[in-house]
Amino acid sequence: MQFLNPYFLFGLLAIAIPIIIHLFNFRRFKKVYFTNVKFLKDIEISTKKQKQVRNRVLLLVRILAIVFLVLFFAQPYFPNTDKKLVEKGLNAVVVCVDNSFSMQNQGREGRLLDEAKQKAKEILDQYNNNDEFLLLTMDMEGKHQQFVSKEKFVELLAEVEISPKSEQNSKLISRSFDLLNTKQGFNKRCFMVSDFQTTAFDSENFPKDTTIKSLLIPLQANNLNNLYVDSISFVDPIFQVGENVKLDVRIVNKSDKRAEAVSVKLFIDDKQIAVSSIDIEKNQTKNLEMTFNLQKHGIQHGQISIIDNPITFDDDFFFTIQTNPTIEVLSINANNPNPYINQLFSNNKEISLRNMSEKTIDFNEFSNFSLIILNAITEFSSGLASELIRYRDNGGSVVIIPSQTMDLKSFQASMNLLSLPYYTELVQKENKVVTIDQENKLFRGVFSTEVDNMEMPTVKKYFRLSSTTRTSRESVMKLQSQEDFLLVSQKNASKVYIFTANLTDDFTDFIKQALFVPTIWNMALFNQVVPKPYYFMTDSKPIDISMLKDITKIFVPEIVSTDNNISFIPQFLNDKQKQSIVLHNQVRMSGNYNIVEKGKVYGGLSLNYGREESDLSFLSTKDINSKLKKGLLNDYNVLETKQQLLSTYFKKSQNSFPLSIILLILLFTCIAVETYILFRNR
């Protein structure tokens, strides 16, 4: 048996108090004279024996009460050597300190990060100077990947600040175990100090290693409420000068209070151009539509801002609009270009058409175009299909026009590869378009009112389409036979328009109808591809910049903030078909940036803090223990920070046999017995 607070054992000297009282009875008795004392002598003998027994029992009870009281404060325990954190010999200790954004919250002793640093120092104090220590944070920096002395550890700890990085708990613990397993002949210990957010605690991925004992130290935040801008998106945009651009702003209220009259501001190039107000119910998400007029082409940096204290890292959301004055369209032709499409786009400043033979397709050029038209090509190769899949992943749209001479099997295989309905057979029978979806986005602004008596296109022959598809399928024009003349299949921002008839005189008169012009024109206008408007700093994937104009001319790109206060050179990946950059944690500040080389700006880049830390829901100690137990993680323990000091835990494992409750029961039993004896003999 050992004691947590052995100095309290001096309190056992208080046992002398009831003994002294028992030995020296200062009560003085009054003499009373009787004529016959025989009867009184008999009573005196009997009463004296009972009184002696009662007094000795009282003395024993009082002594035991003092002993139990002193032992309760001294806190005796039987140590569990299997769970001991500090053992004889050399110890290798890894301390994981959570420095993510949620750790800027206030706790019982100030900022949570400062509490975490203090806990880390307390851990150090329990070990010897010849033990080795390693510090890990969310940044996973190289300087934190090696074991150091106590003094060096304290220096590294002092440098830790709040970081935009956020990792799953298992990633830090797994890295800790990997580093600990390099220390042969050491007692291995792992500590993690964190607020243990629900979204980051993935105990199912925690490593298991019986040679490593781990202790999780949870910290509790005072504030669990947060209001933040989650994301933005463009609503059916037409990026033309003078046109209104609709912005959908997603705002989340992660709190138990209703947010009223939240001011939402929109900035373009550091100028406030719109402001709106919104009410959001507790623990709800709401979308707000904001509109602004596109004043120019090129790079325009935007920002959405709200005010919500004390958590402010997610109050701003940055985005960039990068548009070109001309929409680029590529037509891949079997032989000659389609004269009607050529005439539509000729001598036009808004839309530029480029023709390319199917025999000389340059896949490297695809990223330069917003729309690709497969105009009556004879063969749809798997290589072309693979490139179109990549092209669609970047938001590009496609128009497929069949021909009578096409290789049907190659079209079926490739269209199936693209998850599209495919051509099955040629129907050589006249038909007529009877239904037009006038509400389709393709016809936005074409019909001022619903038209019933419009002249409809006729077809002399057409291809039948399969009825199954793995993506969305929307009929735009239907024939009298209830088969499609034109349909659209959408995947994210990419659309594929499928005609069932060749756009020539021998197939249809659609090319001579008034509807032809807005249909083909809007396919290009409404599907203008712009670079992705924003990225999250927590995403480690390469950032594709292939869509930026003249990006192939760049060799050493530099990332420069719009205020010119931050600049760095990222890793540049260039494989001819795709250009991308990798940031490697070089950015610490969210905001709008430019991609520059030798003073020339090639594109914009908006970087936002990840929103993983915005959800301020945390696991309680009970929840953590439950998850550890469920995962059979027997070598992990949790510190009850509310009930136990960290220094205390090192002396007494939470798996040690508890005596405090037993001592309390015995103490109150002694008090009850003493009270009973005193009242019974009153």
Within a domain: 530: no
Q: How far apart are CA 573 and CA 550, in angstroms?
A: 15
What is the extent of the structural domain holding 542? 535-608
* Residue 19: band (very low, low, confident or very high) from pLDDT cuts 50, 70, 90: confident
User: Are residues 97 and 40 part of one domain?
Assistant: no
Query: pTM of the entire structure?
Result: 0.76
Within a domain: 119: yes
User: Are residues 171 and 55 part of one domain?
Assistant: no
Q: Which residue has the higher pLDDT, 572 or 18?
A: 572
Looking up residue 405, the CATH number of its domain turns out to be 3.40.50.880
Q: CB–CB of 647/122 below 8 Å?
A: yes
User: Are residues 380 and 517 part of one domain?
Assistant: yes
Buried/exposed 162-190: b ≥16 CB within 10 Å, e otherwise: bbbbbbebbbbbebbbebbeebeebbbbb
At 431-483, the pLDDT tens digits run 999 999 888 888 887 776 665 667 889 999 999 999 876 778 899 999 999 99
Looking up residue 272, the CATH number of its domain turns out to be 2.60.40.10
343: helix, strand or coil: helix
At 84-108, the pLDDT tens digits run 555 667 899 999 999 999 998 888 8
Within a domain: 529: no
User: Are residues 355 and 473 part of one domain?
Assistant: yes
Distance of CA 106 to the CA centre of its chain: 21
Is pLDDT of 644 > 70? no
Within a domain: 405: yes
Within a domain: 375: yes
User: Are residues 544 and 504 part of one domain?
Assistant: no
Q: What is the DSSP string of 374-429?
A: EES-S---HHHHHHHHHHHHTT-EEEEE--TTS-HHHHHHHHHHTT---EEEEE-S
User: Are residues 366 and 296 part of one domain?
Assistant: no
Task: Please name the amino acid found at residue 618.
Answer: F
Which of 523, 555, 578 corresponds to the end of one domain?
Answer: 523
User: Are residues 55 and 118 part of one domain?
Assistant: no
* Residue 236: band (very low, low, confident or very high) from pLDDT cuts 50, 70, 90: confident
Q: How far apart are CA 415 and CA 403, in angstroms?
A: 15
User: Are residues 408 and 335 part of one domain?
Assistant: yes
Into how many domains does the chain fold?
5
* Residue 655: band (very low, low, confident or very high) from pLDDT cuts 50, 70, 90: very low
Per-residue CA distances from 195 to 39, 105, 113, 154, 373 (Å):
79, 10, 9, 21, 54
Is pLDDT of 623 > 70? yes
Q: How far apart are CA 72 and CA 454, in angstroms?
A: 94
Is pLDDT of 213 > 80? yes
Looking up residue 219, the CATH number of its domain turns out to be 3.40.50.410
User: Are residues 623 and 598 part of one domain?
Assistant: no
Which of 290, 307, 323 corresponds to the end of one domain?
Answer: 323
Q: Which residue has the higher pLDDT, 615 or 96?
A: 96
Say what the pLDDT of residue 521 is: 93
Q: Which residue has the higher pLDDT, 65 or 513?
A: 513
Within a domain: 354: yes
Interacting residues of 274 by C-beta distance below 8 A, sequence separation 6+: 265, 266, 290, 291, 292
Q: CB–CB of 76/630 below 8 Å?
A: no
User: Are residues 89 and 25 part of one domain?
Assistant: no
Say what the pLDDT of residue 43 is: 57
User: Are residues 575 and 552 part of one domain?
Assistant: yes
Within a domain: 528: no
Is pLDDT of 243 > 90? no
User: Are residues 339 and 478 part of one domain?
Assistant: yes
Within a domain: 248: yes
